[in-house]
Amino acid sequence: MKEGERILIVGAGLSGAVIGRALAQEGWRVEIVDSRAHVAGNCHTERDAATGVMVHVYGPHIFHTDDAEVWAYVNGFATFLPYKNRVKTTSGGQVYSLPVNLHTINQFFGKCFRPDEARAFIGALADRTIADPRTFEEQALRFVGRDLYEAFFKGYTQKQWGCAPADLPASILKRLPVRFNYEDNYFFHRYQGMPEHGYTAMVERILDHPNITVRLETDFRRNARDGFAHVFHSGPLDGYFDNDLGRLGYRTLDFERFTHDGDYQGCAVMNYGDLSVPYTRITEHKHFSPWEEHEGSVCYREFSRTCEPGDIPYYPVRLVKEKAQLADYVRLAEREEGVTFVGRLGTYRYLDMDVTIREALDTARLFMERRAAGAAMPAFLKSPL
Ligand SMILES: Cc1cc2nc3c(=O)[nH]c(=O)nc-3n(C[C@H](O)[C@H](O)[C@H](O)COP(=O)(O)OP(=O)(O)OC[C@H]3O[C@@H](n4cnc5c(N)ncnc54)[C@H](O)[C@@H]3O)c2cc1C
């Protein structure tokens, strides 16, 4: 059944690599194409030649998950070393701890509150006149009041999304974004770490299978599908259809790279909440590998803006207009036979790495089940809407 059958995968990021590996292990011949000159997609890491620092080329990537199977999976292809993401923010000329926690609150208001006192204090600041918050701004004001909102949420959000928080939906801020203890570990997940030799080395190992062929610097075109039993497409959904229904909106990032002798900022990620500072954050890459020692340092200033043709799409916008357009693309995709759209670009969703791997494993399993049953594979594992 599988003898001689070939599978085409567009994209050698985590989605493509994990699906490819699972199918290759079951005997399919897998061809993977990627337009870039390297594998690992947006998780790509490479050592800076001058300093030896492992650089997260497309922005900082921290692995965190509650999914035991996914954690075991990545540990099968890389040694993960302990790493806790502790983010700081500079706001109004002071440095604070994020996410907003008891330390942030006490420092910001010049207090020595215990947890219950802080809870009552923030509760009193919260704007209870807003009964039914419709925007991000209203939601934040209702949760934390104006002072904390303006210092820690307003400027950063505006820079990140390129529009006023009053124009963003309340759904972006689902829960109270404040902790009433001193826990500053950014992620709550049970497993957290960094691959010792970077993500690219891990993805290279996932792809290292005799049934897998990878062709880099190769753009996928729809007419290249012929001769393949199935296509898994982890490139942009709109790009697959030559943007026939218009371009789905994305935010892109510009990284302004600079080097420094010694330690530039003393932490991996420093956010900048003030609108007077044009960038959203500075990343100092050597702090992502705390087990290594480097004299020099490589840093990125990160700027967010609207994604134009030719830019790298980073964050899907997914506001009302984009969701309507997405629904049209989903209809087109569902009429396309023999193609499954996967990953962050193929499904137009923000996906963390662990979710990407989970969905890739599930996609490969579903494909094998469907093939065994002689049934067709759906265009999407889950609806992207
Ligand atoms: C700034 C930023 C920070 C992030 N930080 C974290 C984090 O800390 N922790 C976390 O868990 N997740 C993080 N993520 C999410 C993470 O990047 C994704 O989970 C992951 O990249 C998804 O992998 P993918 O294979 O679906 O997509 P990608 O990595 O984008 O891979 C898709 C690949 O397809 C290729 N491609 C596209 N179109 C074509 C075409 N037409 N022909 C050929 N090749 C094509 C691309 O070149 C790319 O290599 C972050 C994302 C961003 C944007």
- Pairing verdict, β 29-33 and 212-215: parallel
- Pairing verdict, β 269-272 and 339-341: unpaired
Sketch out the chain's domains with CATH numbers. Answer: 6-84+195-247+318-373 (3.40.50.720), 99-172 (no CATH)
Task: Note if 348 is an active site residue.
Answer: no
- CB contact at 8 A, 363 and 18: no
Task: Note if 251 is an active site residue.
Answer: yes
SS3 168: coil
- CB contact at 8 A, 45 and 262: no
How high is the pLDDT of residue 226?
Answer: 84
Task: Note if 337 is an active site residue.
Answer: no
Ligand 1 lined by 44 (C-beta under 6 Å): no
Q: First-to-last CA distance in the chain?
A: 34
Residues 34, 138, 184, 302: which is the catalytic one?
302
Ligand 1 lined by 85 (C-beta under 6 Å): no
How high is the pLDDT of residue 186?
Answer: 94
Q: Is the pLDDT of residue 165 over 90?
A: yes
Tell me the two tokens of residue 240: 């697959």
Nearest ligand 1 atom to alpha carbon 36: 47
Atom 1 of ligand 1, nearest CA residue: 59
Ligand 1 lined by 83 (C-beta under 6 Å): no
- Residue to substitute in 61, 233, 253 for testing ligand 1 pocket (most ligand atoms within 8 angstroms of CB): 61
Nearest to 197 by CA among 77, 357, 49, 36: 77
Task: Note if 352 is an active site residue.
Answer: yes
How far does the centroid of ligand 1 lie from the alpha carbon of residue 373, in Å?
A: 32
Average pLDDT, the chain: 96
Tell me the two tokens of residue 140: 């934040």
What does the pLDDT look like over 38-95, one tens digit per residue? 999 999 999 999 999 999 999 999 999 999 999 999 999 999 999 999 999 999 999 9
**For residues 79 and 195, what is the distance between their CA atoms, to the nearest angstrom?**
6
Task: Note if 365 is an active site residue.
Answer: no
- CB contact at 8 A, 206 and 77: yes
Tell me the two tokens of residue 42: 């947006």
Nearest ligand 1 atom to alpha carbon 33: 43
SS3 130: coil
Nearest ligand 1 atom to alpha carbon 42: 29
Ligand 1 lined by 192 (C-beta under 6 Å): no
How far does the centroid of ligand 1 lie from the alpha carbon of residue 183, in Å?
A: 29
How far does the centroid of ligand 1 lie from the alpha carbon of residue 343, in Å?
A: 8
- Work out the pLDDT band at 183, boundaries 50, 70, 90: very high
What does the pLDDT look like over 97-151, one tens digit per residue? 999 999 999 999 999 999 999 999 999 999 989 989 999 999 999 999 999 999 9
Ligand 1 lined by 13 (C-beta under 6 Å): yes
**For residues 325 and 226, what is the distance between their CA atoms, to the nearest angstrom?**
28
- Work out the pLDDT band at 224, boundaries 50, 70, 90: confident
Ligand 1 lined by 38 (C-beta under 6 Å): no
Nearest ligand 1 atom to alpha carbon 342: 26
Task: Note if 295 is an active site residue.
Answer: no
Residues in the chain: 385
Kindly state the greatest CA–CA separation across the chain.
70
Task: Note if 247 is an active site residue.
Answer: no
- Residue to substitute in 43, 44, 56, 65 for testing ligand 1 pocket (most ligand atoms within 8 angstroms of CB): 43
SS3 118: helix
Q: Is the dihedral of CA 257, 259, 260, 266 positive or negative?
A: positive
Atom 6 of ligand 1, nearest CA residue: 61
Q: Is the pLDDT of residue 223 over 90?
A: no
The predicted model scores a pTM of 0.97
Residues 29, 179, 318, 371: which is the catalytic one?
179
Q: Mind spelling out the 3-state secondary structure of 293-334?
A: CCCEEEEEEEEEEECCCCCCCCEECCCHHHHHHHHHHHHHHH
What does the pLDDT look like over 27-37, one tens digit per residue? 999 999 999 99
